[in-house]
Amino acid sequence: MESVIALFVPVDREEPLGRSLVEQARDGSRAAFGQLYQQYSRMVHGVLLARVPHSEVEDMVQDVFLLALRRLQSLRDEKAFGGWLAMIARNQAIDYHRKAPKITELKENMLQEKPPEPEALEVLDTIRGLPDAYRETLILRLVEGLSGPEIAIQTGLSPDSVRVNLHRGMKMLREKMEGRAAT
Amino acid sequence: MNEDYLWDKSGEPDPDVQRLENLLAPLGHKSDKAPVLPFPKRSRVPYLLAIAASLLVLSGPLWVAWQRNRPAWNVATTEGTPSLTRLAKGESINTDAHSQARLNLNDVGEVEVEPNTQLSVLAIRPDEQRLALHHGTIRALIWAPPGRFIVNTPSAQTVDLGCQYTLNVNTDGVGLVEVSVGWVAFEDKGRESFIPAGAACVTRPGKGPGIPYYQDAPKELIDALNRFDADSDRPAIAAILANARSRDAISLWHLLRRVQPDDRAQVYDRLSQFIAVPAGVTREGVLAANPQMIDSLWNTLDLGNTSFWRMWKSRGPK
């Protein structure tokens, strides 16, 4: 059985994201990789949540980081770490739908955790019904709590694109929710 | 809608956005959940490097001593930039267009390395000194016992039988040996050429040693021999026979062993005009390629007997 170590690393949110930590992680620093996890895990969680069932996402976040750790040597431009990681997450979501059984396994944490509010799951479904660009950005903003600039930095998208996606996505979400309320 | 709040959470909170944030936040990532990462596997590289470095340090003096005592050709630069002083087994010397060097090995001889030459040492043993001439020119003056100094070329091995000679290999791998003193044998895959002083011989990749000729032979003869060697050109046989002098019996003897059976009779007839056919040798036997009879013909040329020329064979293939 593979040995594991749990990393609890404080996060300095003011630190420039990525660059030096990526270098250290590439050189084998698990502490640096732990910091990258702390900084980017919400983004990865949001990218996955836009595509796969909520109950699967936490485990898949770990899978994405483990995969990234194995592939980190292949990352040439460390400034692109966020976009590269987001791409791994999107690909993992695609793989999930390709391979996943249709019956969802009942997991231990499902029994221990308070179930999500039905209304929250309903809104999440509505967001998932939006076009790709909007749903991912909106989930990162509304569910994961990232600001627009943080979304831009962590996903590699331009701030303008994120701003447009947030604005249009939110407008579309309002319309859908109002339409649903009206029925 | 407060765009600033949606964008960067600044300004007055937008009530709709704030309500959605509160509603959806429980679905977000549980940031207090620790990531589980593989236990870092310790790389073996640093340890291996440390071991290698230790061995290097410990073995350094031994290495230096071994290098000093290792048999090697002494190298003297006669012109240009080669900075080697010794050339041991497995090592090479390369000269550029402006460089020359002289190799010396006490009991063996001297080898001058001309410009634009690449030469390697394949073996340094009491019973065999073997070099490889990849391209370029060497001039060898060998005083080692016959058969111990050998130079590999891309298409044949040159066996010194006590002599002085020049060996050139061009960029196509074609070799040319010109013998000044003594005797040299070319051999490749059983094809052999005996080259006495004053003679030369070409060896070609894929074809092996050609037919030796005296360097003062008529140009028409040399040209015809080259055509025969390069292309097995049958019409060249007539030109060879027509232009051969008595002294060129050495070329005819080699030709006798390489022509097709149908052409053997005319070559034998021409050769027999220049030599005294020894007793026991018959025309029929030679035409049937009897090896003893053909060797007997060589022995009438006053160039030593064939067993002397073939002394490298006792070494086996290299």
The per-residue pLDDT for range B238-271, each reduced to its tens digit, is 999 999 999 999 999 999 999 999 999 999 999 9
Same domain, A19 and A61: yes
Q: Within this chain, do residues A132 and A62 fall inside the same structural domain, yes or no?
A: no
Same domain (yes/no): A62, A121: no
Q: Which fold has domain B65-210?
A: Jelly Rolls (2.60.120)
Q: Let me know whether A143 and A104 are in one domain.
A: no
End-to-end CA distance of chain A: 54
Asked whether residue A40 is domain-assigned, the answer is yes
Residue B217: per-residue pLDDT: 96
What pLDDT digit, counting tens, does each position of B169-204 carry?
A: 998 999 999 998 888 888 888 788 999 989 999 999
A64 inside domain: yes
Model pLDDT for residues A104-143, shown as the tens digit of each residue? 444 555 445 566 788 888 999 999 999 888 999 999 999 9
Residue ranges per structural domain of chain B: 65-210, 217-318
Instruction: Tell me the pLDDT tens digit for each residue of B269-297.
Output: 999 999 999 999 999 999 999 999 999 99
* A59 and A137 fall within a common domain: no
Query: Where in the sequence is the domain holding A166, given as residue range(s)?
Result: 116-183
Q: B interface mutation test: which of A47, A56, A125, A142 has the most B CBs within 10 A?
A: A142
Number of domains in chain A: 2
B213 strand-pairing partners: B200
In-domain check, residue A6: no
CB within 8 Å: B37 and A170: no
Domain termination site, one of A49, A76, A108: A108
Q: Of A65-69, B17-21, B136-140, which range is least confident?
A: A65-69
pLDDT for the residue A12: 38
pLDDT in tens, B83-118: 678 899 988 999 988 889 999 887 788 899 999 999
The C-alpha atoms of residue A24 and residue A30 are separated, in whole angstroms, by: 8
Same domain, A80 and A48: yes
User: What pLDDT does B148 receive?
Assistant: 85
User: Does the distance separating the beta carbons of B27 and A58 come in below 8 Å?
Assistant: no
Give the pLDDT score at B11.
85
> Would A81 be classed as within a structural domain?
yes
Residue A1, domain member (yes or no):
no
- Which pLDDT band holds residue A7 (cuts at 50, 70, 90)? very low
How large is the average pLDDT for residues B134-160? 88
Task: Find chain A residues with C-beta within 8 A of B28's C-beta.
Answer: 42, 45-46, 143-145
| CB-CB under 8 Å, B23 with A116 | no
Domain of residue A181, CATH code = 1.10.10.10
| Structure token digits, residue A37 | 């996890």
Give the pLDDT of residue A5. 30
- Note whether A144 and A172 are same-domain residues: yes
Query: Does one domain contain both A57 and A36?
Result: yes
pLDDT of residue B40: 46
Predicted model pTM: 0.51
Averaged confidence pLDDT in chain B: 85
Which one of A60, A81, A108 terminates a domain? A108
**pLDDT reading at B39 higher than 70:** no
Out of B16, B21, B34, closest to residue A6 by CB: B34
Return the number of CB contacts < 8 Å for A and B.
105
CATH number of the CATH domain containing A59: 1.10.1740.10
Interface test with A, best of B17, B20, B30, B45 (most A CBs within 10 A): B20
